Amino acid sequence: DADVTQTPRNRITKTGKRIMLECSQTKGHDRMYWYRQDPGLGLRLIYYSFDVKDINKGEISDGYSVSRQAQAKFSLSLESAIPNQTALYFCATSNPPTDREQYFGPGTRLTVT
Amino acid sequence: QQQVKQSPQSLIVQKGGISIINCAYENTAFDYFPWYQQFPGKGPALLIAIRPDVSEKKEGRFTISFNKSAKQFSLHIMDSQPGDSATYFCAASPQGGSEKLVFGKGTKLTVNP
């Protein structure tokens, strides 16, 4: 089984709708991240969490919110989706300082019409 | 503000050739420089990483060269194979604190048979 899973894998929604993307991990890592990937723009950090009680904004947090329900679960919400939020969304985990590698999930392709 | 600049945006190489992707950074607090490989429909995965106390790291056909004074690092893929066709991202992370990764915009590598 995959260490980092994301649901749904694909989602089409309409402008103005609320949508939640979910991420679960079995690696036991405290740190979790949400990234957005757009063609030609690379990966940009939306939010990151050091643990359940410590959540921080990333580079592009406007229009997004997150919830860390447990060590293993980190959800990303779009309260009122807009078309320019159409993108690939990735969740990742890490376990610094011993392991600075970030382990990515398979991604969610979100389309806002 | 883009803190990690990656070039080229796309690269086409013949099988057996050498693929070279370059990155430059600005923040002297960066102390961890990974390269991630992403295949279509998958999340990025760590390929190889280097710290600034060494000038080169090699793993199989993949080599990172690091020039601290120039604030540049590059990925060399020797004997490139069609299976290496993917998008490659360089990244950098500062020591201590958030361990946030700043990604380059990516290079789409195509290795022709």
pLDDT at A99: 80
DSSP string computed for A44-87:
EEEEEEEETTEEEE-TT-TT-EEEEEETTEEEEEESS--GGG-E
Instruction: Indicate the DSSP class of residue B26.
Output: -
The predicted-structure confidence for B6-53, as pLDDT tens digits, reads as follows 999 999 999 999 999 999 999 888 999 999 999 999 999 999 999 989
Q: Taking all residues of chain B, what is their mean pLDDT, rounded to a whole number?
A: 93
pLDDT band at A1 (very low <50, low <70, confident <90, very high): low
Put simply, whether B97 touches A (Cβ < 8 Å) is: no
For chain A, how many helices (H) and strands (E)? 0, 11
Residue A64 structure tokens: 């997004």
Put simply, whether A47 touches B (Cβ < 8 Å) is: no
pLDDT at A108: 98
Q: Are A40 and B98 an interchain contact pair (Cβ–Cβ within 8 Å)?
A: no
Which chain A residue is nearest to residue B89, measuring alpha carbons? A42
pLDDT at B97: 62
Q: Are B44 and A4 an interchain contact pair (Cβ–Cβ within 8 Å)?
A: no
How far is A111 from chain B, CA to nearest CA, in Å? 15
Backbone φ and ψ for B82, nearest 5 degrees, come out as: -55, -30
Window B:42-81, CB contacts with A under 8 Å = 42-46, 49
End-to-end CA separation in angstroms for chain A: 33
Residue A47 predicted with pLDDT over 70: yes
Residue B111 structure tokens: 């290795």
B71: three-class secondary structure by DSSP: coil
pLDDT at B98: 66
- Whether the CB-CB separation of A45 and A35 falls below 8 Å is answered with yes
Q: What are residue A33's DSSP bridge partners?
A: A48, A92
pLDDT band at A100 (very low <50, low <70, confident <90, very high): confident
The predicted-structure confidence for A5-46, as pLDDT tens digits, reads as follows 999 999 999 999 999 999 999 999 999 999 999 988 899 999
Residue A34 structure tokens: 């949400």
- Name the residue among A27, A48, A2, A34 with its Cα closest to residue A95: A27
Q: Are B100 and A107 an interchain contact pair (Cβ–Cβ within 8 Å)?
A: no
